[in-house]
Amino acid sequence: MSNVSEPEVTSAEPVTVEPVLAPLTSADSIAFVLALGRALHKYGTPAHRLEEALRVCCQRLDLEAEIFTTPTAIIMSFGDPHELRTRMMRVEGGELDMDKLEQVDDLADEVAAQRMTAAEGIVRLEQILAAPRVYGRAVTVVVNGLTSGTLAVFFGGSLVDVAVASLIGVMLGLLEQVAARSTDQTRVFELIGAAFVALSANALSPFVAISPTLVTLAALVVLLPGMSLTVAMTELATRNLIAGTARLMSAVIVLLQLVVGVALGERIANALVTVETTSPASLPSWAQWVALIASALGMAIIVQAQQRAFVWILAASVVGYLGTGLGTEWLDERMGVLVGAFAVGVMGNIFARLMERPAQVVHVPAVLLLVPGSMGFRGVAALLGRDTLTGVGTVFEMFVVAIAIVAGLLVANAVVSPRRSL
């Protein structure tokens, strides 16, 4: 056999190799989806949106999954029917943090597009969860007072009522920061906070010309479960019956705690001083526009929205306010909020389409100004005061208003789709 010599290579052009991400493994992808579900739940995502977001993420990661969520648990099964791997996670109640919700949403898109591995996504998700909030405790406390004062304007309060409600709101914010250090204290904060607000408002009435009931309600607005009630009705309307029922009962329990706390505070105040009530002198009509702008910005800070979303939140709040006014003229006071909720829904969905951000960033703070939490509070208080007819009527109106808000948001989704699962 003759030897065949190989041609000698004298030179070679340098070869550039583009970096390629490692392929996603099933275990890493499942771990990321589980962590993503816990994070989205933590930041207040309703059941129907949470399930849809996780379903979309699983499809992009080539995972077969069945998903079921409630306010206290997430159950996910992965794989073919004959070899399912099921995980049930116990989760706590969510908190409103639109900044971190945006970051988690961006992270999910990065992993789903394979611009980041699932393992890297888990690490990044842990960093997002551990990061400090956009607005610190001091800012949140001040904004609590600002929001209480501005809502006193909508309730027809005088300038003195607004000032006292703001002061009590600040003190309530401080009390919340103290209670947040302990799990046991957090669980009874609504009861203690309501008692403190009612005691403060009634105890100050002999010395300052205020309406104690109005001031109490305005200062308690940040604790009222109006958003939970609206989300519960949305989940029921979208056939997430278990999640909706559980969230609805949670909202009712919070209302009961607030009513009992207010009754306790009033009893203590009556034992200490002679409570006096002054009929409030309503502020001029232009004051409501000032209060609307201040309350919209306050709500944006309370839900930890990024500053670039402030203009959208303010615009949604204004169109919601105008829509509710027009709807009240066309329909009635209870159903007028449907038009306002529709306007808020359209504005939030336009934000989601143009900015590629979750529509919740705009929906949540704007809807908070429409929710009927104060109606529920008055209704339950009337029932506990044995005023059955008034209580039942007010509670029924609360559910009608909540359904109207839900209907407006659902119609907005049908008319202008956000093109996003969140």
Q: What is the pLDDT of residue 376?
A: 63
Domain boundary among 284, 319, 351: 284
Establish if 20 belongs to a structural domain.
no
Closest listed residue to residue 298, CA positions, set 140, 119, 190, 103? 140
Do 157 and 263 lie in a common domain? yes
Q: What is the pLDDT of residue 422?
A: 63
Establish if 254 belongs to a structural domain.
yes
pLDDT band at 377 (very low <50, low <70, confident <90, very high): low
Q: Is the pLDDT of residue 261 over 80?
A: yes
Do 126 and 151 lie in a common domain? no
Q: What is the pLDDT of residue 85?
A: 85
Q: Is the pLDDT of residue 5 over 70?
A: no
Establish if 51 belongs to a structural domain.
yes
* Residue pointed to by tokens 């009712």: 252
Q: Is the pLDDT of residue 156 over 50?
A: yes
Establish if 18 belongs to a structural domain.
no
The amino acid sitting at 231 is: V
Establish if 222 belongs to a structural domain.
yes
Do 103 and 155 lie in a common domain? no
pLDDT higher for 24 or 412? 412
pLDDT higher for 173 or 381? 173
pTM of the predicted model as reported, rounded to 2 decimal places: 0.84
The tokens for 255 are 């209302």
Q: Is the pLDDT of residue 123 over 50?
A: yes
Domain boundary among 106, 130, 154: 130
Do 151 and 264 lie in a common domain? yes
Q: What are phi and psi of 6, to 5 degrees?
A: -75, 140
The tokens for 10 are 């004298």
Domain around 246: 135-284
Q: What are phi and psi of 135, to 5 degrees?
A: -115, 125
Q: What are phi and psi of 197, to 5 degrees?
A: -65, -45
C-alpha 134/C-alpha 99 separation (Å) is 7
* Residue pointed to by tokens 């029917």: 81
pLDDT band at 232 (very low <50, low <70, confident <90, very high): confident
Q: What is the pLDDT of residue 301?
A: 92
The tokens for 213 are 């009931």
Do 119 and 146 lie in a common domain? no
The tokens for 119 are 């393992």
Domain boundary among 284, 318, 344: 284
C-alpha 24/C-alpha 58 separation (Å) is 12
Total number of domains in the chain: 3
Residues 276 and 206: beta-carbon distance below 8 Å: yes
Establish if 15 belongs to a structural domain.
no
Do 237 and 146 lie in a common domain? yes
pLDDT higher for 342 or 184? 342
β-partners of residue 67 are 76
Kindly state the DSSP code that residue 375 receives in the 8-state scheme.
H
Establish if 292 belongs to a structural domain.
no
The amino acid sitting at 393 is: G
Do 278 and 398 lie in a common domain? no
What does the pLDDT average to over 79-83?
78
Do 149 and 280 lie in a common domain? yes
Residues 400 and 334: beta-carbon distance below 8 Å: yes
* Buried/exposed 371-402: b ≥16 CB within 10 Å, e otherwise: bbbbbbbbbbbbbeeeeeeebeebbebbbbbb
Do 78 and 168 lie in a common domain? no
What does the pLDDT average to over 229-253?
87
The tokens for 400 are 């009608």
The tokens for 339 are 């038009």
The amino acid sitting at 366 is: A
Q: What is the pLDDT of residue 345?
A: 92
pLDDT band at 19 (very low <50, low <70, confident <90, very high): very low
Residues 95 and 40: beta-carbon distance below 8 Å: no
Do 175 and 244 lie in a common domain? yes
Do 258 and 139 lie in a common domain? yes
**Average pLDDT in the chain:** 85
Establish if 13 belongs to a structural domain.
no
Do 278 and 168 lie in a common domain? yes
pLDDT higher for 282 or 164? 164
Q: Is the pLDDT of residue 25 over 90?
A: no
* Residue pointed to by tokens 């910005």: 297
β-partners of residue 87 are 76
